Structure 1
Amino acid sequence: MIQPMNSPLRFDVLSLFPRTVDSFVGESILGKASDRGLIEVSSHDLRDWAKGKHREADDRPFGGGAGMVLKPEPLFDAVEELSRPQSTVIYMAPDGDPFTTQMAKELSTSQHLVLISGHYEGIDQRVRDELVDREVSIGDYVLTNGSLAAAVMIDAVSRHLPGVLGDDESLLDESFEDDLLGCPQYTRPAEFRGIKVPEVLLSGNHEDIARWRHEQRVQKTRSLRPDLSTNTQTIRN
C-alpha cells in the first residue's frame, strides 16, 4: 500500500533486546530522518506481552534439542495489538527470502512495517503460519541477535524514502542499482602518496565521467559478482 503524502513510514520492532534498535536508529541519517518526521521507529520488548511471574517469552522446543524458541502467546498478543489494516508483518529469519535493493524499494512504499526479531532457535511455527506476511533474510548466516537484522532493514528501506538522503540522486549509481556494483570514488587531494586520481574525473567532461563510471561498474560486477545481471554484457557508448 502506497504511503499518503507527508505520512511517515512507521516501523514497530518486536525484540528481546530492543535497545539494540534504539541505539542504532537514533544516530546519523536515520536519527535525522526521525527528527524530521520522515520515519517513526518504536522498538518493543517482547516480554511486555509475556504472562506469568517471570514474564518468560521463550521456552524449550518440543521434541528436544538445544536452544530456546520464542513462545507464540506474547508474539500473537503483540502483533495483534500493534497491527493496523495496512500493516505488513515481517519475520527476520535466516531461512527467509533474500533481502535485496529491490525489496527495500518496495517496502519503502509501505505505511507500517511490524518487524519480528528472531532469537535463539527462532519463533514458534504457528506465528510464522498465522501472523507473518513475509519472511526475510539479510544473508546466509545466523545472528545471535535478530534485532541487528531488523536494524539493517530499517536502514536500507528508509534511505529510499524521499528526503531521507541529502541528495536523492546519490541512489542512482550505488551498488546493486541496475544490478551493477558501485564505481570507485575519489576525493581531495588529487594526488596522495604518489597515487593520482584518474584524469577523467578531473576533466570536467560529465559525459566522459558518466561513461567511465559505468564502465568501472560493469568491470567490477563482471569480476566480483557475475551472477548479478546480463547488464555486465554491455558498456555504454
Structure 2
Amino acid sequence: MVKFFSCLLKKRNMVGSLPVHYVDTKYEKATFGMGCFWSGESLFGGQIGVLRTKVGYSGGTSPTAKYREIGDHVECVSVDYDPKKISYKQLLDLFWNNHEYGLTKRVKRQYSSLILYHTDAQKQAAMESIQEERVKRAPEIIITEIAEAGPFHPAEDYHQKFRLQAHKEFVKSLQLNSELLLKSFVAAKLNGYLVGVGGLKQFEKESSELGLSPTQLEYVRKYVIKNAGAGLSC
C-alpha cells in the first residue's frame, strides 16, 4: 500500500490532477464545544454544505492556549459552511444530538457543552433551540453555555483531522501540510467519510467534487461502507 500511494502521487503530479483543497464559496462560521473535538470535527466535516473544519480552544479568557495549557478554554470545532446547502438550525440539531458527554452532566471545563455565536441571528437561533431541547429532554437539565464567539486558538497539528491522519500513506497522497490541515475542503470531507459519517449514498453524491482519483475514491468507499453506522467516540 505504501508503494502504491507513492506511485499514485507521482502520477497525479505529472498530470496536474490534485485533490480539491480550496473552494471559493461564500460561507458563514459556526463554533461548537461538545466534548472531545475529534468526533465533532468528523461529524461536521461529513455534512453536505460544510466547507472547512478545524479544532481548537475557545470560549475562555486565557490569551493563549494549547492542549497541555488550555487555561479556561473549551475544546471546540470551528465550521465554515455554505448556508445555501446547510442551515445553522441543521448544525444545531447535529450539535444537540451528538454529544459524547457534557450536555446534562457537569464535566471538566475543557469538555463542556458550548455554543459560540458569531451573529445576532445565530444567537437567537441558539437561544430558541436550547429552549426546545429543554422541553424535549425534561426532566434532564441542559447545562450548555451560549456565548459570543471570541478568539479561536487552533489546536496542534496532530489534533486536526485526527481520524483522517490515521491513514498515513493515504494522507501523503493528498499532499497535506500544516496549513491544509486547517483549510482543506477535501480533508474536512474525508475526515468524516472515513469513519462512516454521511453514508455511502451521500459519499457517492459528493465524490465528484473532491478531486480524487478512482483509486483514492475506492479506498475511501471501502471505509465508508465498513464504518457506516458505527458511531463516533474519542
Flag the structure with higher helix content: 2
| Bin of the TM-score, shorter chain as denominator length | under 0.3
TM-score by length of 1: 0.23
Structure with higher Rg: it is 1
Of the two structures, which has the highest relative contact order with CA contacts closer than 8 Å and spacing of 6 or more? Answer: 2
TM-score by length of 2: 0.24
